[in-house]
Amino acid sequence: MPNNKQTNVSVFQYDSKELKEMEGLSPEECLSLTKNKRKVTWVTLEGISESGLIQKFASSFDLHPLVTEDISHTRQRPKVEDYDEYLYIVVRMPFYNNKSDNINTEQISFILGRNYVLTFQEKRIGIFDPVRERLRKGKGRARRSGPDFLTYALLDLVVDHFFVILEKLGEKIGSMEEQVLKDPSPKMLQKIRNLKREMLVLRKSVWPLRELLLSMERESSSKNPLVKKETAVYLRDVYDHTIQVIDTTETFRDMASGMLDIYLSSLSNRMNEIMKVLTVIGTIFIPLTFITGLYGMNFRFMPELEHPLGYPAVLSFMALAIIIMLYDFKRKYWM
């Protein structure tokens, strides 16, 4: 059984009638399978750390050196390139890293030939299992259609995964906004910064996807034999979903940016609250303390001090002042 560091090669070969599944084939075996022009051959390489194997596949399938390089260097921008004999497609799929609580992206490369598809994944996370299931069940258009439809189905899965991520982010943003309004702690600043960064990661993965799908649609309408005309409408559908992902991403970006403004406003609100308390206390007691100071002076001749009603009079005056000031603060909504 393959371990996580090894590159796992799995092959599906099918037409509308039958489907064969194979594991661990060599590049040459894969190539010979594609000689059968009436069947679709789908070769998946999961875990592309073994660059030697990639090299062998590349030379077997006669890939352009730049393509081979791009497959191995997993920091490509999503794009599609037409090399006449095949299309080279590279996309980035986001996934949520639960440990570090942030979003990473993984590169997935497709080689779409006349009757075969090669897919190269950075790691193994079974992202393509739903398509495999559908192929095995033999239902739907998938089994009846060519490798371009298979590529569509796989791209569709990738775009669907964006929605999963966006939903998670949506919840996160919602709860963060609540928190910012309630308790604008310094920790929130860090969280907002991280959120913004995640939006940037997502954005960089999904914007080029839009162009990519437009290009593929254009290929199909310019009679490129690699992408059939019937597939165009399906590509249009994935395109529409991508636009929706972009829309939502931009909305979230707006919300993340707005959050800092709300944060600052919340802070200002807090400051106002704090200052009101200080001002109320100060305004009431500083003048009164002055009065007590006045009658605490040690002048020999201070007639008020001798008067038996002096103390009650001062107390009454102070009580009155407090009442008036409290009333005034109520009026100004400071309390």
Contact residue for its own copies among 295, 317, 319, 327 (CB under 8 A)? 295
What residues numbered 219-258 form the site for its own copies, per CB under 8 A? Answer: 233-234, 236-237, 240, 243-244, 247, 251, 254-255, 258
Amino acid code (one letter) for 21 = E
Amino acid code (one letter) for 139 = K
What residues numbered 297-316 form the site for its own copies, per CB under 8 A? Answer: 297-302, 304-306, 308, 310-311, 314
Based on the shown chain and the rule CB under 8 A, indicate whether residue 281 belongs to the binding site for its own copies.
yes
What residues numbered 164-193 form the site for its own copies, per CB under 8 A? Answer: 177, 181, 183, 186, 189-190, 193
Amino acid code (one letter) for 215 = S
Q: Which two tokens stand for residue 76?
A: 């490509």
Place of tokens 């942030």: 102
Which C-beta is closer to its own copies: that of 64 or that of 132? Answer: 64
Which C-beta is closer to its own copies: that of 214 or that of 314? Answer: 314
Provide the terminal-to-terminal Cα distance of the chain, rounded to the nearest Å: 72
Based on the shown chain and the rule CB under 8 A, indicate whether residue 196 belongs to the binding site for its own copies.
yes
Are the beta carbons of 226 and 86 closer than 8 angstroms? yes
Alpha helices in the chain (DSSP H): 27-33, 51-60, 65-72, 129-137, 147-182, 186-221, 229-294, 303-306, 310-331
Of the candidate spans 17-25, 31-39, 59-67, 109-117, the one that interacts with its own copies by CB under 8 A turns out to be 59-67
Which C-beta is closer to its own copies: that of 30 or that of 226? Answer: 226
What residues numbered 64-123 form the site for its own copies, per CB under 8 A? Answer: 64-66, 70, 75-77, 79, 81, 83
Are the beta carbons of 9 and 30 closer than 8 angstroms? yes
Contact residue for its own copies among 5, 37, 100, 286 (CB under 8 A)? 286
Going from the C-alpha of 25 to that of each of 29, 63, 125, 245, the distances in angstroms are: 6, 19, 20, 37
What residues numbered 121-160 form the site for its own copies, per CB under 8 A? Answer: 141
Which C-beta is closer to its own copies: that of 33 or that of 54? Answer: 54
